[in-house]
C-alpha cells in the first residue's frame, strides 16, 4: 500500500481518480483541495467513509500547510491535478489562474523537492511527482490530419492554457535542474459523471431538460478529442505506477467530434432516454442557439495517444457513443447532485471531510 497525495481531488477529474484509487486499489489517498466553486465533496460521497481516504481543505499555494501535509502523511506519490481550468473564466479574470496554476505548482514542486531529498534511498527511488496537464498547451491544429504528440511545440491561446503551459515548464525544469522524479500527462477534453455544469456536455444536458437554449459558440465546428473521465483515471494510475521518469504521455480518447456533433448526439440520446420534453419543446435540437464565438477560440485539438498505448499498454475502454450514453444516463439518474450544484448548496456542505 502506498500513500498518494492528490491535489484537486474534489474536482471533476480528481474525484474520478480518487474513486478509482479507493475502489480499485489498496492505496491510501490524501485529497488536498481548496474547494473553490468547482470542488464538490458530494462527488466523493461513495468513498468518503473509507479508512484509506483523508480530505484536507487547503490552497496548494500555502507552503506551510503543504509542508505540514508532506511531513504528516509521508506520500509515496504526488498526483497534481489542482488547477483553475475554465477558459471563459480565465479570459474574464486571469489572476486566479496565474496564482493557482503557476504559483501553486511552484509551491508543490519546492515542498516535494525538499521532502524527496531527505527520503531514505529506497523510498526516494520510488517517489514520483505526476503533473496532470491539458492538450490546450499546444494551441490548435491546422491540418485536418495533424495530431498533438508529446514533442509538439507549445502555443497556448488563452490565459488558462498559458498558465498550464507555464506549470508544465516548471515541472520539467525541476526535473532537469534538481533531478526531481517527475512525469507529465497532457489529456484531451474529458467528459462523464460529476462534470461541473458550466462545461459543454453537462450544460447541454441540463439546459435541454429544462427547455433552455443550448448555446453553441460560432458555427459549432470546433473539433475536440473526447476522453471518458473514468478511462482517464485508469490512464493516470497506469502512468504514475509504470511510467518512465522525465517522460510526457499524451492521453486521448480517439474520439474527434465537432461541438455541434456533440450537441446533436446529446439531443438524440435525450429523445430516447427522456422523451417527456419540457412544455413547448417539440424536439431537443430545436433549442440549439448559436452565440458569438469567444476570443482566441482554438479550432481543433486532437491527441496522438500512441505512446501511452505502445509503452504502457493503455487504451480507452469507452467509445464516444458508449461513454456519452453513460453520461446522459448518469445525469438523468442523479438530479439531486445536479440540483445541489445549480442552487449552490453543495458549497455549504462539507461532507466526509477531515480538515487540517
172 — pLDDT class (breaks 50, 70, 90): very high
φ/ψ (deg, to 5) at 168: -60, -45
93 — pLDDT class (breaks 50, 70, 90): confident
- Indicate whether 206 belongs to any domain: no
SS (H, E, C) 208-266: HHCCCCEEEECCCCCEEEEEEHHHHHHHHHHHHHHCCCCCEEEECCCCEEEHHHHHHHH
- Indicate whether 83 belongs to any domain: yes
φ/ψ (deg, to 5) at 69: -65, -40
Q: How many domains is the chain partitioned into structurally?
A: 1
pLDDT at 227 over 50: yes
- Indicate whether 287 belongs to any domain: no
Share of the chain above pLDDT 90, in %: 80
Q: Which of 106, 160, 237, 249 is flagged as catalytic? A: 160
- Indicate whether 86 belongs to any domain: yes
* Residue 160 appears among annotated catalytic residues: yes
Q: Range of 307's domain?
A: 3-191+228-253+296-318
350 — pLDDT class (breaks 50, 70, 90): low
**Residue 352: predicted pLDDT:** 42
Locate the DSSP E strands across the chain. 3-7, 28-33, 53-57, 77-80, 128-134, 182-187, 189-191, 214-217, 223-228, 248-251, 256-258, 288-291
Say how far apart CA 266 and CA 285 lie, in whole Å. Answer: 9
- Indicate whether 222 belongs to any domain: no
Q: Which cell numbers hold the place of 214?
A: 443550448
Q: Contact, 86 vs 161, CB < 8 A?
A: no
Q: Is 254 left (phi over 0), alpha (psi -120 to 50) or beta?
A: left
Cβ burial of 138 (10 Å; 0-12, 13-18, 19+) is buried
- Indicate whether 346 belongs to any domain: no
* Residue 346 appears among annotated catalytic residues: no
Tell me: the pLDDT tens digits for 173-189? 999 999 999 999 999 99
Say how far apart CA 291 and CA 206 lie, in whole Å. Answer: 18
Q: What is the CATH number of the domain that holds 56?
A: 3.40.50.720
Q: Which cell numbers hold the place of 233?
A: 483515471
Mean pLDDT over 195-219 rounds to: 93
Q: Which of 135, 140, 168, 230 is flagged as catalytic? A: 135
* Residue 293 appears among annotated catalytic residues: no
Q: Which of 59, 76, 136, 168 is flagged as catalytic? A: 136
Tell me: the pLDDT tens digits for 233-292? 999 999 999 999 999 999 999 888 999 999 999 999 999 999 999 999 999 999 999 998
Q: Contact, 174 vs 182, CB < 8 A?
A: yes
- Indicate whether 260 belongs to any domain: no
Report the predicted TM-score, pTM, of the whole model to 2 decimal places.
Answer: 0.93
- Indicate whether 94 belongs to any domain: yes
Amino acid at each position: 500500500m502506498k500513500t498518494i497525495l492528490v491535489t484537486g481531488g474534489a474536482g471533476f477529474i480528481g474525484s474520478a481518480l480518487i474513486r478509482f484509487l479507493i475502489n480499485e486499489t489498496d492505496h491510501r489517498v490524501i485529497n488536498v483541495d481548496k474547494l473553490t466553486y468547482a470542488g464538490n465533496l458530494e462527488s466523493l460521497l461513495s468513498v468518503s467513509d473509507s479508512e484509506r481516504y483523508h480530505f484536507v481543505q487547503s490552497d496548494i499555494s500555502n507552503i506551510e500547510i503543504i509542508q505540514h501535509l508532506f511531513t504528516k502523511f509521508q506520500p509515496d506519490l504526488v498526483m497534481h491535478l489542482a488547477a483553475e481550468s475554465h477558459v471563459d473564466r480565465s479570459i474574464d479574470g486571469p489572476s486566479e489562474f496565474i496564482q493557482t496554476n503557476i504559483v501553486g505548482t511552484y509551491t508543490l514542486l519546492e515542498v516535494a523537492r525538499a521532502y524527496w531529498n531527505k527520503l531514505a534511498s529506497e523510498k526516494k527511488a520510488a517517489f514520483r511527482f505526476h503533473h496532470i496537464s491539458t492538450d490546450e498547451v499546444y494551441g490548435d491544429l491546422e491540418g485536418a490530419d495533424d495530431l498533438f504528440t508529446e514533442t509538439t511545440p507549445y502555443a497556448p491561446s488563452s490565459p488558462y492554457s498559458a498558465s498550464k503551459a507555464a506549470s508544465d515548464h516548471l515541472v520539467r525544469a525541476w526535473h532537469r535542474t534538481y533531478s526531481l522524479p517527475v512525469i507529465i500527462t497532457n489529456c484531451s477534453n474529458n467528459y462523464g459523471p460529476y462534470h461541473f455544469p458550466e462545461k459543454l456536455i453537462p450544460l447541454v444536458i441540463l439546459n435541454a431538460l429544462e427547455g433552455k437554449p443550448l448555446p453553441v459558440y460560432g458555427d459549432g465546428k470546433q473539433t475536440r478529442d473526447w476522453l471518458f473521465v473514468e478511462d482517464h483515471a485508469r490512464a493516470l494510475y497506469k502512468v504514475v505506477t509504470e511510467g518512465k521518469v522525465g517522460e510526457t504521455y499524451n492521453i486521448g480518447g480517439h474520439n474527434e467530434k465537432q461541438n455541434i456533433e456533440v450537441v446533436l448526439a446529446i439531443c438524440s440520446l435525450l429523445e430516447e432516454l427522456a422523451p417527456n420534453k419540457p412544455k413547448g419543446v417539440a424536439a431537443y435540437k430545436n433549442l440549439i442557439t448559436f452565440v458569438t464565438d469567444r476570443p482566441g477560440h482554438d479550432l481543433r485539438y486532437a491527441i496522438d495517444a500512441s505512446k501511452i498505448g505502445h509503452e504502457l499498454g493503455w487504451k480507452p475502454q469507452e467509445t464516444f457513443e458508449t461513454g456519452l450514453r453513460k453520461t446522459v444516463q448518469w445525469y438523468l439518474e442523479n438530479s439531486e447532485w445536479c440540483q445541489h450544484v445549480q442552487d449552490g448548496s453543495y458549497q455549504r456542505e462539507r461532507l466526509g471531510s477531515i480538515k487540517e
